[in-house]
Amino acid sequence: MDIHAILRDLKQGNRRFMEGALRHPRQDEATRMRLARGQSPKAVVLGCADSRVPPEVVFDQGVGDLFVVRSAGNIPDTYALAGIEYAVLALQTPLVIVLGHTQCGAVQAAVQGNVLTPALEALVDAIQPSVEAAETDSVDEVVMVHARRVVAELPARSEAIAQAVADGRLHILPALYHLGTGVVEWLDEVQVSAPDDEVAAK
């Protein structure tokens, strides 16, 4: 699947989810047995741990379709980054989606500065630059800024990811999931060279 077909497929799945018309594709025994021989996920989703944002459900995908990395506030710590690198390098996954969501509790904690434990404090510290960059107390606004910042952070912190982006093998997109409507709002477009350029380059 090329990047446009993947995005089309994910958008169609999200539409089915919104409309209450889930198909639950590729969750059968044959798929499971086929995937036991190897995986080739169409996208990585770096999403929040929030129970209301399960990527496979939100995009109506099946087993083997999404390589999902979740942490509160969709923060790419070293281990999350390693997972993403594995998908990009070993599995040749061509798309990473940084999926923030409205009313994110982790972002809200960073905005309000109320922390309960040292671990939560570290989490809030990681989100704090997004709060400062957003220059607003609106949680949803900060979530969007944060998703874009994480998109920029991945290649900045990983030489391997930066190289994949430079080679045109990888696209990284920020998106915002709306809790109430179920809509995944894409915050950026895929930047690809025109088809003519691709032909000329071959």
Is 9 known as a binding-site position?
Answer: no
- For residue 132, the minimal CB distance to Zn ion (Å) is 19
| Footprint (CB under 5 A) of Zn ion, residues 140-199 | none
Place of tokens 């045109």: 168
Strands in 66-70's sheet, in edge-to-edge order, are 66-70, 43-47, 95-101, 171-177, 184-186
- Report CA torsion sign: 79, 70, 92, 38: positive
Is 178 known as a binding-site position?
Answer: no
46 binds Zn ion (CB under 5 A): no
Return the residue of 44, 48, 84, 95 that touches Zn ion, per CB under 5 A.
Answer: 48
Biggest CA pair distance of the chain: 57
Residues 6+ apart with CB under 8 A from 188: 148, 151, 173, 174
- For residue 102, the minimal CB distance to Zn ion (Å) is 9
- For residue 73, the minimal CB distance to Zn ion (Å) is 6
Binding mask 118-137 for Zn ion (x = CB under 5 A): --------------------
104 binds Zn ion (CB under 5 A): yes
84 binds Zn ion (CB under 5 A): no
Closer CB to Zn ion, 106 or 172, in the complex: 106
Interface residues with Zn ion (CB under 5 A) are 48, 50, 104, 106
